[in-house]
Chains A and B, each alone.
Chain A
Amino acid sequence: MDFILQLVTDPVAFYQTHTLLIAEIGINSILASSMFVVLYSGQLSLAAPGFMAIGAYTSVLMGNYWNTPFALNLLVGILLAGVVGVVVGLPVLRLRGVFLAIATIGFIEALSLGVILNVPITGEGLGLKNPDADPLGGINIVLASLAVIVFLLWRLTQGRLGHAWDAIRQDELAALSQGIPVARYKMIAFVLSAMLAGYAGGLESHLNFFVDPTEYGVARTVQVLTFAVLGGSGNVLGPVVGALFLTTLPEIVRVPNFDYRDVIAGAILILVIIFRPQGIVGRGGLAIIRPRWWPKSRSSASAPG
């Protein structure tokens, strides 16, 4: 509780003592935004950690071997994540619902187990040392870019593309009948999400002296999914709120001899999805994915025939 107290009474000191936590919140929020983009366009893609890994390893490796400036490394990481996003997206975006989720899980596990842990340059299981890390300096970039990202995504949802994503999420075939190029727009969302995740990964690696290969697997994707479920994915702020809440919770409440974080995360997933599926921020129910060929739930005025 003194955590909250300090935040309220002495924000500056709070900021200084908890810089790393704030940075973590920021990075998780960017990740959550990446999740938002795909969920808003109706795609249950769980690929974020994979793209994070691409961003992280690329930027650190470039820094280590070529001594190029961080900004350039980060940019290359983002672009590479985008390119991989296109390559992965092309075959995978035809899949719907659960199949897409499974395919993206396949992607991150393949990347994790097949590449990261096996290619010597990545340091394999021991991870990668990052001597150029700047734990305290990076936080400003994180917070500033988070604000910009959230703003831009918000504007995006208010425009033609965002409305099209909204339509695609609810009914792809109807969206097609209105002239919306569904496949293209889904790819745009997927690649954008990949780049955001790559950015988050690159930033995260910059704040740590060590790139941890175990950070990019299914556990991470579940974590990011939880942000989106808790916060709600109908609104840009939803996943960010979820990230904020879940990242801070372990700081506020500590239970001795018991790392309860996963238990809480699990309980949150169950309770939220049953009792408030639209999440904290919410907007109109759990419309994230409802592909039409799943057994249909009753709608209020069903058409005959």
Chain B
Amino acid sequence: MLLRLDDLRRHFGGVHAVDGVSLEVEKGSIHGLIGPNGAGKTTLVNVVTGYVRTQGGTAWLENDKLTGRPPHRIAALGVARTFQNIRLFGDLTALENVMIGMHTRLHDDTLAQLATLPIFRRDERSVVNDAHKLMETVGLDPSEAGRRPAGQLPYGDQRRLEIARALALRPRLLILDEPAAGMNPSEKQGIRELIERLNADGLTILLIDHDMRLVMGVCQRVSVLNFGRKIADGVPQEVSTDTVVIDAYLGSGAEKEAARAPGTTELRDLERARPALRRAAEPEEAILDVQDVWVSYGAINAVRGVSLRVAEGEVVALIGANGAGKSTILNALSGLVPIASGTAIFDGLDLINAKPSSIVRRGLVQVPEGREILGRQTVLENLELATWTRRDRAAAAKEIEAMMGRFPILGQRRGLRANTLSGGERQLLAIARGLLAKPRLLLLDEPSLGLAPQMVDEVFAAIDEIHRGGTTILLVEQNALRALEIADRAYVLETGQIQLTGSGQDLLHNPAVRMAYLGG
């Protein structure tokens, strides 16, 4: 028994984020922790690692009590973690990031420093060597990537670097909080192999993630949280077939995903009821015409010569790994990020020089990746924001009512503050708000991101319905399978460039695409 949690409790205001959770992690195992958004997984980790005080119960790492200690003492005891939103030291090089992780293992060399004794030099060299080895362990090249500022590394490398930095503590327990978030299946496979390698060397790992295949495939035991309580605990097969778990968390679609253990070649049922329009060539008449656009963030060229077209009434998907530039393109189209070169015309409006407010008024509306709802205002006020620019307030009010009829759950919650909504409800709110802005082209940025599988079903059903209603959609999704299923056409983006394009169905069956994005 390496980690033992006994009846941990933590509430915030009235919300019981962690409500009497007990669990045990065996030494040398990979233990999974899953649950819907808001189930308390990250709070639990924060309690265990000392960032949040527990209000009851204890946590033990073998014979060391963790509860009641500050985070840096817990780290020194051998509990390392990564963060859900990457927290690297952006201005330090990758190598320096890893070396910071060795802080607890170095002697305090302050006095030696001040006298520049040569002993110190030797120490530093061994530190550098250790850091090199750690980077190699996670699959990064220390001489190349090691020198770059961590903030400029590609997304996948940053995730790996965070793991290397955590390993520098020589921990007894490594807690990984969504280490593969935003990665495509082949990148995830790489992370999975890394986890297995680390575990083979004897490291105990606690893994939190939403990806069923990853968790069920690599973990020896899985605990499931919901509303702050543990609702299941067992080996993957047991947990994924447990009806309580399925009801709470796994939607019907995901159940099939979870059941699919690695090594099987069982193909999913790909044909859906909705007939797909088999349009392969780019349309003649396009409402959105993007030619050879380049966008950069400082020194990095995030988008390199991308061209795409969207015709009225289409659903066009943009798929690709995280960091490929998909969201950047949407933000550039919305005028939030400057376009370095190329042309982008929407319904006659030059997007490069137009102000964001003009672009929206023209009908190019984005539902952003972060939802960006106003948490402190009510659901109704959030919807009203969408009609802010309208002159006819009465008509606007009617439309808002109609929208709440279309999404009844929003109507029910109309007077509540938006930050009390669950992840999926917020996404629906963001979509409803986007629709109220009267879009001629709706840009959807990662609508399924961070949502439990059940909510993903709901959101895609909503998108489908919107499309049937005639709205043109440009959809960016990391969930390539879902995106390609509903898309008329799609573009595949890699490192800022379009690699492939075709109809949704064609790409769905394309071997290269299946390999990279659909898991084979």
Which A positions have Cβ atoms within 8 angstroms of B? 152, 155-156, 158-164, 166-167, 170-171, 173-182, 284-285, 287, 298-305
Inter-chain contacts of B91 with A (CB < 8 A): 170, 284-285, 287
Q: Decide if B75 touches A176 in the complex (CB within 8 Å).
A: yes
Interface residues of B in 99-141 (CB under 8 A from A): 99-101, 103-104, 106-110, 112-114, 116, 120
B51 to A: closest C-beta gap in Å: 7
Q: Given B71, B109, B116, B155, which contacts A303 in the complex, CB threshold below 8 Å? A: B155
Indicate if B234 sits at the interface (CB-CB under 8 A).
no
Instruction: Say whether A304 contacts B478, CB under 8 Å.
Output: yes
Q: How many residues of B contact A (CB 8 A)?
A: 63
Pairwise interchain contact A159-B113, C-beta atoms closer than 8 A = yes
B223-231, B260-268, B273-281, B297-305: which one contacts chain A?
A: B297-305
Which positions 69-106 of chain B face chain A at CB distance < 8 Å?
Answer: 70-72, 75-76, 80-81, 83-92, 96, 99-101, 103-104, 106
Contact A300 B151 (CB under 8 A): yes
Contact B51 A176 (CB under 8 A): yes
A279 to chain B minimum Cβ distance, whole angstroms, is: 14
Chain A residues within 8 Å of B83, by CB: 174, 177
Asked if B450 and A304 make an inter-chain contact with CB atoms under 8 angstroms apart, the answer reads yes
Q: Which residues of B contact A170 (CB under 8 A)?
A: 89-92
* Min distance, Cβ B356 to any Cβ of chain A, angstroms: 14
Since A179-B76, A304-B478 are in contact, a sample of 13 more A-B pairs with Cβ atoms closer than 8 Å, ordered by chain A residue number, is A155-B116, A156-B110, A160-B108, A179-B75, A181-B70, A284-B149, A299-B151, A301-B151, A301-B155, A304-B181, A304-B182, A304-B322, A305-B450
B59 CB to closest chain A CB (Å) equals 16
Which residues of B approach A to under 8 Å, CB–CB?
49-51, 70-72, 75-76, 80-81, 83-92, 96, 99-101, 103-104, 106-110, 112-114, 116, 120, 149, 151-155, 158, 165-166, 168-169, 178, 181-182, 297-298, 300, 302, 322-323, 327, 337, 369, 446, 449-450, 478
Contact A305 B165 (CB under 8 A): no
Complex interface: chain A residues within 8 A of B85 (CB): 303, 305
Contact of B297 among A180, A181, A300 (CB under 8 A): A300
- Inter-subunit contact A160/B109 (CB<8 Å): yes
Contacts of A152 in B (CB 8 A): 114
Residues of A within 8 A of B151 (CB): 299-301
CA distance A170 to B91 in the complex (A): 8
Closest A residue by C-beta to B115: A155
Main secondary structure of the interface of B (DSSP, over half): loop
Q: Which residues of B contact A304 (CB under 8 A)?
A: 181-182, 322, 369, 446, 449-450, 478
Contact B100 A300 (CB under 8 A): no
- Inter-chain contacts of A300 with B (CB < 8 A): 151-152, 297-298, 300, 302
Check if B86 sits within 8 Å of A303, measured CB to CB: yes
> A199 to B100, alpha carbons, bound, how many Å?
32
> In the complex, what distance in Å separates the CA atom of A6 from the CA atom of B132?
53
Residues from chain A with Cβ under 8 Å of B112 in the complex: 159
Determine whether the beta carbon of A177 is less than 8 Å from that of B99. Answer: no
- What CA separation (Å) do A159 and B115 show in the bound complex? 11
- A to B CB contacts below 8 Å, 5 in the list: A176-B70, A178-B72, A180-B100, A180-B103, A301-B155
Residue of A nearest to B127 (CB): A160
Asked if residues B89 and A176 are in contact (CB atoms below 8 Å), the reply is no
Question: Which chain B residues lie closer than 8 Å to A301 at the CB level?
Answer: 151, 153-155, 158, 322-323
Instruction: Give the most central of B76, B88, B113: most A CB within 10 Å.
Output: B113
Distance between Cα atoms of A181 and B298 in the complex (Å): 33
Give B422 Cβ to nearest chain A Cβ, in Å: 14
Least distance between A189 CB and chain B CB atoms (Å):
13
Contact between B100 and A164, CB atoms less than 8 A apart:
yes
Known: A173-B87, A305-B85. A160 touches B103 (CB 8 A): yes
Contacts of A179 in B (CB 8 A): 72, 75-76, 103-104, 169
The 7 A-B pairs with the shortest beta carbon distances in the complex, nearest first, are A159-B113, A179-B104, A179-B75, A176-B71, A174-B87, A304-B182, A305-B450
Whether the Cβ atoms of A181 and B155 lie closer than 8 Å is no
* Residue of A160, A175, A302, A303 touching B110 (CB-CB under 8 A): A160
Across the interface, B88 reaches (CB within 8 A) one of A155, A174, A284, A285, namely: A174
Complex Cα gap A179–B51 (Å): 12
Instruction: Kindly list chain B residues whose C-beta atoms are within 8 Å of the C-beta of A173.
Output: 51, 71, 87
B84 touches A305 (CB 8 A): yes
Give every chain A residue within 8 A of B158 (Cβ-Cβ).
Answer: 301, 303
Give Cα A304–Cα B101 distance, bound, in whole angstroms: 24
Rounded to whole Å, the gap between the CB of B228 and the closest CB of chain A is: 19
- Cα-based distance from A234 to B302 in the complex (angstroms): 28
Q: Which residues of B contact A176 (CB under 8 A)?
A: 50-51, 70-72, 75
The interface residues of chain B lying within 8 Å CB-to-CB of A177 are: 49, 71-72, 75, 80-81, 83, 87, 166
Residues of A within 8 A of B153 (CB): 301
Complex Cα spacing A148 to B112, Å = 16
CA distance A166 to B96 in the complex (A): 10
Determine which residue in A164, A298, A299, A305 has the highest number of CB atoms from chain B within 10 A of its CB, and name it: A305
A178 to B450, CA, bound (A): 27
Q: CA A182 – CA B50 in complex, angstroms? A: 13
Bound-state Cα–Cα, A177 to B114, Å: 27
Query: In the complex, A164→B100 CA distance in Å?
Result: 7
Contacts of B302 in A (CB 8 A): 300
Contacting residue for B92 out of A167, A182, A298, CB 8 A: A167
With CB as the reference atom, state the residue of chain A lying closest to B106: A160
Q: Are B113 and A175 in contact (CB under 8 A)?
A: no
Bound CA span A260–B37, Å = 59
Q: Are A303 and B51 in contact (CB under 8 A)?
A: no
| Residue from the set A175, A178, A303 with the largest chain B CB neighbour count within 10 Å | A178
For the complex, give the distance between the alpha carbons of A298 and B370 in Å.
13
CB-based contact B86/A166 at 8 Å: no
> In the complex the two chains form, is B89's CB within 8 Å of A166's CB?
yes
* Least CB distance, B282 to chain A, in whole angstroms: 29
Closest to A287 in B: B91
Please name the residue on chain A nearest to B87 by beta carbon: A174
Q: Evaluate contact between A163 and B478: CB separation under 8 angstroms.
A: no
